[in-house]
Protein backbone atom coordinates (compact mmCIF):
# COMPACT_ATOMS: atom_id res chain seq x y z
CA UNK A 1 0.00 0.00 0.00
CA UNK A 2 1.27 3.45 -0.86
CA UNK A 3 0.05 6.55 0.90
CA UNK A 4 -0.93 9.44 -1.38
CA UNK A 5 0.45 12.44 0.45
CA UNK A 6 -1.44 15.65 -0.14
CA UNK A 7 1.34 17.71 1.38
CA UNK A 8 3.86 16.46 -1.17
CA UNK A 9 1.57 16.93 -4.18
CA UNK A 10 0.26 20.31 -3.05
CA UNK A 11 3.83 21.52 -2.42
CA UNK A 12 4.73 20.76 -6.03
CA UNK A 13 1.63 22.60 -7.30
CA UNK A 14 2.38 25.58 -5.04
CA UNK A 15 5.98 25.60 -6.15
CA UNK A 16 4.80 26.15 -9.72
CA UNK A 17 2.24 28.76 -8.60
CA UNK A 18 4.99 30.74 -6.88
CA UNK A 19 7.18 30.60 -9.98
CA UNK A 20 4.29 31.69 -12.20
CA UNK A 21 3.48 34.61 -9.89
CA UNK A 22 7.12 35.74 -10.05
CA UNK A 23 7.13 35.56 -13.87
CA UNK A 24 3.86 37.53 -14.13
CA UNK A 25 5.20 40.19 -11.79
CA UNK A 26 8.59 40.48 -13.48
CA UNK A 27 7.54 40.23 -17.13
CA UNK A 28 4.18 41.99 -17.00
CA UNK A 29 4.34 44.14 -13.86
CA UNK A 30 1.07 42.66 -12.60
CA UNK A 31 0.45 41.06 -9.21
CA UNK A 32 -2.14 38.28 -9.34
CA UNK A 33 -4.86 39.06 -6.79
CA UNK A 34 -7.32 36.90 -4.89
CA UNK A 35 -9.96 38.39 -2.58
CA UNK A 36 -12.24 36.38 -0.36
CA UNK A 37 -15.67 37.25 0.99
CA UNK A 38 -16.87 35.65 4.19
CA UNK A 39 -20.25 36.25 5.77
CA UNK A 40 -20.97 35.08 9.31
CA UNK A 41 -18.83 33.61 12.05
CA UNK A 42 -18.70 29.88 11.30
CA UNK A 43 -15.38 28.88 12.94
CA UNK A 44 -14.41 26.30 10.28
CA UNK A 45 -15.07 28.80 7.46
CA UNK A 46 -13.04 31.44 9.30
CA UNK A 47 -10.07 29.03 9.43
CA UNK A 48 -10.42 28.10 5.73
CA UNK A 49 -10.53 31.76 4.68
CA UNK A 50 -7.59 32.74 6.84
CA UNK A 51 -5.53 29.91 5.36
CA UNK A 52 -6.44 30.86 1.79
CA UNK A 53 -5.45 34.50 2.28
CA UNK A 54 -2.23 33.57 4.09
CA UNK A 55 -1.21 31.03 1.45
CA UNK A 56 -1.97 33.44 -1.40
CA UNK A 57 0.19 36.08 0.26
CA UNK A 58 2.95 33.51 0.77
CA UNK A 59 2.86 32.84 -2.98
CA UNK A 60 3.54 36.53 -3.63
CA UNK A 61 -0.04 37.34 -4.61
CA UNK A 62 -2.16 40.24 -3.51
CA UNK A 63 -4.85 38.93 -1.17
CA UNK A 64 -7.51 40.32 1.14
CA UNK A 65 -10.56 39.18 3.01
CA UNK A 66 -13.91 40.96 3.35
CA UNK A 67 -15.82 40.06 6.47
CA UNK A 68 -19.56 40.56 6.55
CA UNK A 69 -21.75 40.00 9.58
CA UNK A 70 -24.15 37.14 10.12
CA UNK A 71 -26.95 39.63 9.48
CA UNK A 72 -25.63 40.73 6.10
CA UNK A 73 -28.17 41.21 3.32
CA UNK A 74 -28.35 39.95 -0.24
CA UNK A 75 -27.89 43.54 -1.44
CA UNK A 76 -24.76 44.06 0.64
CA UNK A 77 -23.09 40.88 -0.57
CA UNK A 78 -24.07 41.48 -4.22
CA UNK A 79 -22.77 45.04 -3.92
CA UNK A 80 -19.43 43.80 -2.66
CA UNK A 81 -19.12 41.19 -5.43
CA UNK A 82 -19.94 43.91 -7.97
CA UNK A 83 -17.16 46.09 -6.53
CA UNK A 84 -14.67 43.20 -6.74
CA UNK A 85 -15.82 42.35 -10.28
CA UNK A 86 -14.83 45.88 -11.27
CA UNK A 87 -11.58 46.06 -9.33
CA UNK A 88 -8.63 45.46 -11.70
CA UNK A 89 -6.29 44.34 -8.91
CA UNK A 90 -8.69 41.49 -8.04
CA UNK A 91 -8.34 38.60 -10.50
CA UNK A 92 -10.05 35.93 -8.44
CA UNK A 93 -13.11 36.22 -6.20
CA UNK A 94 -14.18 33.58 -3.74
CA UNK A 95 -17.33 33.73 -1.64
CA UNK A 96 -16.89 31.27 1.22
CA UNK A 97 -19.65 28.69 1.53
CA UNK A 98 -22.01 28.37 3.32
CA UNK A 99 -23.34 31.93 3.69
CA UNK A 100 -25.92 32.73 6.39
CA UNK A 101 -29.39 31.27 5.65
CA UNK A 102 -30.97 34.56 4.49
CA UNK A 103 -28.54 34.67 1.53
CA UNK A 104 -29.43 33.08 -1.80
CA UNK A 105 -26.04 31.53 -2.53
CA UNK A 106 -26.91 30.62 -6.13
CA UNK A 107 -27.58 34.21 -7.15
CA UNK A 108 -24.37 35.35 -5.42
CA UNK A 109 -22.36 32.80 -7.45
CA UNK A 110 -24.18 33.86 -10.62
CA UNK A 111 -23.16 37.47 -9.97
CA UNK A 112 -19.40 36.72 -9.98
CA UNK A 113 -17.66 37.61 -13.24
CA UNK A 114 -16.98 34.13 -14.76
CA UNK A 115 -13.40 35.21 -15.50
CA UNK A 116 -12.89 35.78 -11.76
CA UNK A 117 -14.76 32.65 -10.63
CA UNK A 118 -11.75 30.78 -9.21
CA UNK A 119 -13.98 28.24 -7.43
CA UNK A 120 -15.41 27.25 -10.85
CA UNK A 121 -18.96 27.36 -9.48
CA UNK A 122 -20.46 29.81 -12.02
CA UNK A 123 -22.81 28.09 -14.51
CA UNK A 124 -20.65 29.38 -17.39
CA UNK A 125 -17.57 27.61 -16.03
CA UNK A 126 -19.53 24.50 -15.04
CA UNK A 127 -20.81 24.36 -18.65
CA UNK A 128 -17.29 24.72 -20.00
CA UNK A 129 -16.16 21.89 -17.75
CA UNK A 130 -18.96 19.69 -19.03
CA UNK A 131 -18.18 20.25 -22.71
CA UNK A 132 -14.45 19.78 -22.12
CA UNK A 133 -13.42 23.38 -22.86
CA UNK A 134 -10.46 23.66 -20.53
CA UNK A 135 -8.96 27.05 -21.22
CA UNK A 136 -10.53 28.34 -18.02
CA UNK A 137 -10.85 26.98 -14.51
CA UNK A 138 -11.30 23.53 -13.08
CA UNK A 139 -13.06 23.03 -9.74
CA UNK A 140 -10.52 22.99 -6.91
CA UNK A 141 -11.18 19.83 -4.90
CA UNK A 142 -11.88 17.45 -7.83
CA UNK A 143 -8.98 18.93 -9.77
CA UNK A 144 -6.83 18.38 -6.71
CA UNK A 145 -7.77 14.71 -6.81
CA UNK A 146 -6.80 14.60 -10.50
CA UNK A 147 -3.43 16.16 -9.66
CA UNK A 148 -2.85 13.43 -7.08
CA UNK A 149 -3.61 10.67 -9.60
CA UNK A 150 -1.20 12.29 -12.03
CA UNK A 151 1.54 12.85 -9.45
CA UNK A 152 1.54 9.17 -8.48
CA UNK A 153 1.16 8.10 -12.12
CA UNK A 154 -1.95 6.06 -11.33
CA UNK A 155 -3.50 4.35 -14.35
CA UNK A 156 -7.12 5.45 -14.75
CA UNK A 157 -7.84 4.70 -18.41
CA UNK A 158 -10.61 2.13 -18.80
CA UNK A 159 -10.80 1.65 -15.04
CA UNK A 160 -14.06 1.50 -13.15
CA UNK A 161 -14.24 4.49 -10.85
CA UNK A 162 -17.00 4.83 -8.26
CA UNK A 163 -17.66 8.37 -7.05
CA UNK A 164 -19.61 8.48 -3.80
CA UNK A 165 -21.61 11.72 -3.59
CA UNK A 166 -23.27 13.96 -6.18
CA UNK A 167 -22.73 17.48 -4.85
CA UNK A 168 -21.99 20.35 -7.22
CA UNK A 169 -18.73 21.02 -5.40
CA UNK A 170 -17.20 17.55 -5.40
CA UNK A 171 -19.18 14.56 -6.70
CA UNK A 172 -20.55 15.89 -10.01
CA UNK A 173 -17.38 17.61 -11.25
CA UNK A 174 -15.34 14.62 -10.07
CA UNK A 175 -17.43 12.40 -12.33
CA UNK A 176 -16.90 14.76 -15.27
CA UNK A 177 -13.12 15.00 -14.80
CA UNK A 178 -12.62 11.26 -14.43
CA UNK A 179 -14.73 10.37 -17.44
CA UNK A 180 -13.35 13.01 -19.83
CA UNK A 181 -10.87 12.08 -22.53
CA UNK A 182 -7.19 12.31 -21.72
CA UNK A 183 -4.38 10.95 -19.62
CA UNK A 184 -5.24 10.26 -15.99
CA UNK A 185 -8.90 10.28 -17.05
CA UNK A 186 -10.84 7.99 -19.46
CA UNK A 187 -12.40 6.13 -16.55
CA UNK A 188 -15.81 4.50 -16.61
CA UNK A 189 -17.55 6.27 -13.76
CA UNK A 190 -20.45 5.16 -11.59
CA UNK A 191 -21.85 7.88 -9.38
CA UNK A 192 -23.51 6.77 -6.16
CA UNK A 193 -25.65 8.74 -3.72
CA UNK A 194 -28.07 8.23 -0.88
CA UNK A 195 -30.64 6.50 -3.11
CA UNK A 196 -28.21 4.10 -4.77
CA UNK A 197 -29.11 0.45 -4.44
CA UNK A 198 -26.35 -2.15 -4.05
CA UNK A 199 -23.87 0.57 -3.15
CA UNK A 200 -21.60 -1.90 -1.36
CA UNK A 201 -21.38 -4.18 -4.42
CA UNK A 202 -20.80 -1.17 -6.65
CA UNK A 203 -17.84 -0.08 -4.51
CA UNK A 204 -16.49 -3.62 -4.27
CA UNK A 205 -16.25 -3.75 -8.07
CA UNK A 206 -14.37 -0.42 -8.31
CA UNK A 207 -10.74 -0.03 -9.33
CA UNK A 208 -10.86 3.52 -7.96
CA UNK A 209 -13.16 4.87 -5.23
CA UNK A 210 -13.55 8.58 -4.59
CA UNK A 211 -15.54 9.08 -1.38
CA UNK A 212 -17.21 12.47 -0.90
CA UNK A 213 -20.34 11.98 1.20
CA UNK A 214 -19.56 13.47 4.59
CA UNK A 215 -20.33 10.28 6.55
CA UNK A 216 -17.48 9.35 8.93
CA UNK A 217 -15.70 6.07 8.04
CA UNK A 218 -18.53 4.96 5.75
CA UNK A 219 -16.39 2.94 3.31
CA UNK A 220 -15.59 -0.35 5.04
CA UNK A 221 -13.17 -3.14 4.24
CA UNK A 222 -15.82 -5.33 2.55
CA UNK A 223 -16.57 -2.49 0.09
CA UNK A 224 -13.02 -2.30 -1.25
CA UNK A 225 -11.49 -4.59 -3.82
CA UNK A 226 -7.95 -5.88 -3.26
CA UNK A 227 -5.53 -3.44 -4.94
CA UNK A 228 -8.07 -0.61 -5.34
CA UNK A 229 -7.12 3.07 -5.27
CA UNK A 230 -9.07 4.91 -2.57
CA UNK A 231 -9.34 8.69 -2.49
CA UNK A 232 -11.01 10.07 0.61
CA UNK A 233 -12.39 13.60 0.20
CA UNK A 234 -14.42 13.54 3.42
CA UNK A 235 -13.54 15.72 6.38
CA UNK A 236 -15.60 14.83 9.44
CA UNK A 237 -15.24 15.60 13.14
CA UNK A 238 -15.80 12.72 15.52
CA UNK A 239 -15.65 12.75 19.29
CA UNK A 240 -12.36 11.67 20.81
CA UNK A 241 -11.95 12.03 24.55
CA UNK A 242 -8.20 11.43 24.25
CA UNK A 243 -7.79 14.71 22.34
CA UNK A 244 -7.52 18.07 24.06
CA UNK A 245 -10.13 19.48 21.68
CA UNK A 246 -12.45 16.54 22.36
CA UNK A 247 -12.60 15.57 18.70
CA UNK A 248 -10.51 14.38 15.78
CA UNK A 249 -10.86 14.51 12.02
CA UNK A 250 -11.67 11.41 10.00
CA UNK A 251 -12.59 10.87 6.39
CA UNK A 252 -15.43 9.00 4.73
CA UNK A 253 -13.24 5.88 4.64
CA UNK A 254 -12.52 3.52 7.53
CA UNK A 255 -8.81 4.05 6.92
CA UNK A 256 -7.39 1.66 9.54
CA UNK A 257 -9.28 -1.33 8.17
CA UNK A 258 -9.28 -0.42 4.48
CA UNK A 259 -5.69 0.74 3.93
CA UNK A 260 -4.09 -2.71 3.80
CA UNK A 261 -6.27 -3.75 0.85
CA UNK A 262 -5.44 -0.70 -1.26
CA UNK A 263 -2.70 -0.10 -3.78
CA UNK A 264 -2.95 3.62 -2.99
CA UNK A 265 -4.96 5.51 -0.37
CA UNK A 266 -5.20 9.10 0.86
CA UNK A 267 -5.09 9.79 4.61
CA UNK A 268 -7.33 12.26 6.46
CA UNK A 269 -6.01 14.71 7.40
CA UNK A 270 -3.10 15.27 5.02
CA UNK A 271 -4.71 13.86 1.89
CA UNK A 272 -7.09 15.74 -0.39
CA UNK A 273 -7.42 18.66 2.08
CA UNK A 274 -4.18 20.50 1.18
CA UNK A 275 -4.90 20.05 -2.54
CA UNK A 276 -8.00 22.26 -2.59
CA UNK A 277 -6.17 25.44 -1.60
CA UNK A 278 -3.27 24.69 -3.98
CA UNK A 279 -5.67 24.32 -6.94
CA UNK A 280 -7.50 27.49 -5.88
CA UNK A 281 -4.29 29.50 -6.08
CA UNK A 282 -3.46 27.88 -9.40
CA UNK A 283 -6.87 29.08 -10.62
CA UNK A 284 -6.12 32.59 -9.35
CA UNK A 285 -2.98 32.65 -11.52
CA UNK A 286 -5.04 31.37 -14.48
CA UNK A 287 -7.60 34.13 -13.83
CA UNK A 288 -4.88 36.78 -13.93
CA UNK A 289 -3.51 35.35 -17.18
CA UNK A 290 -6.99 35.21 -18.75
CA UNK A 291 -7.75 38.81 -17.85
CA UNK A 292 -4.44 40.15 -19.14
CA UNK A 293 -3.97 37.84 -22.14
CA UNK A 294 -0.81 36.36 -20.61
CA UNK A 295 0.50 33.01 -21.80
CA UNK A 296 2.88 31.37 -19.36
**Residues catalogued as catalytic:** 52, 96, 119
Q: How far is CA 290 from CA 57, 58, 188, 251, 295, in A?
A: 20, 22, 32, 35, 8
Nearer to ligand NDP, 267 or 273 (CB): 273
User: Least distance in Å: CB of 259 to ligand NDP?
Assistant: 18
Is 276:12 a contact under the CB 8 Å cutoff? no
Nearer to ligand NDP, 136 or 165 (CB): 165
Burial grade of 257 (CB within 10 A; 0-12, 13-18, 19 or more): middle
Stretch that binds ligand NDP, among 118-126, 258-266, 269-277, 278-286 (CB under 6 A): 269-277
- Cβ neighbours for 284, distance < 8 A, ≥ 6 positions apart: 32, 33, 34, 56, 61, 91, 92, 118
Q: Select from 17, 170, 279, 289 the one that contacts ligand NDP (CB under 6 A).
A: 170
Q: Is 267 in the site for ligand NDP (CB under 6 A)?
A: no
Give residues 182-241 in contact with ligand NDP (rule: CB under 6 A): 192-195, 199, 212-215, 233-236
Q: How far is CA 55 from CA 15, 102, 189, 286, in A?
A: 12, 30, 33, 16
User: Least distance in Å: CB of 21 to ligand NDP?
Assistant: 22
User: Least distance in Å: CB of 63 to ligand NDP?
Assistant: 19
- Binding pattern for the stretch 96-135 against ligand NDP, x by CB under 6 A and - elsewhere: ----------------------------------------
Nearer to ligand NDP, 24 or 277 (CB): 277
Q: Residue 288 has what DSSP assignment?
A: H
Residue 292 CA to its chain's centroid (Å)? 25
Nearer to ligand NDP, 112 or 235 (CB): 235
User: Least distance in Å: CB of 112 to ligand NDP?
Assistant: 18
Residue among 168, 202, 209, 171 nearest 187 (CA): 209
A 10 A CB-CB count for 139 gives 26
User: Least distance in Å: CB of 75 to ligand NDP?
Assistant: 27
| DSSP secondary structure letters along 12-55 | HHHHHHHHHHHHHHHHH----EEEEEEES--HHHHHHHHHHHHH
Residues that bind ligand NDP (CB under 6 A): 141, 164-167, 169-171, 192-195, 199, 212-215, 233-236, 272-273, 276
Amino acid sequence: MQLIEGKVVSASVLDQVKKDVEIIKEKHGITPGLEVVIAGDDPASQVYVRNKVLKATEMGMHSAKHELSNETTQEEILGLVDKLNNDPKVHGILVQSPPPPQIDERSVIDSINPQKDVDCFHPYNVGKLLIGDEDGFLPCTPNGVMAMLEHYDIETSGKHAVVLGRSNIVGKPMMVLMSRKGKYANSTVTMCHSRTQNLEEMCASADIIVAAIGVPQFVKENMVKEGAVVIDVGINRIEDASKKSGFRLVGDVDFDNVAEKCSYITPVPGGVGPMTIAMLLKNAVTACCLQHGITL
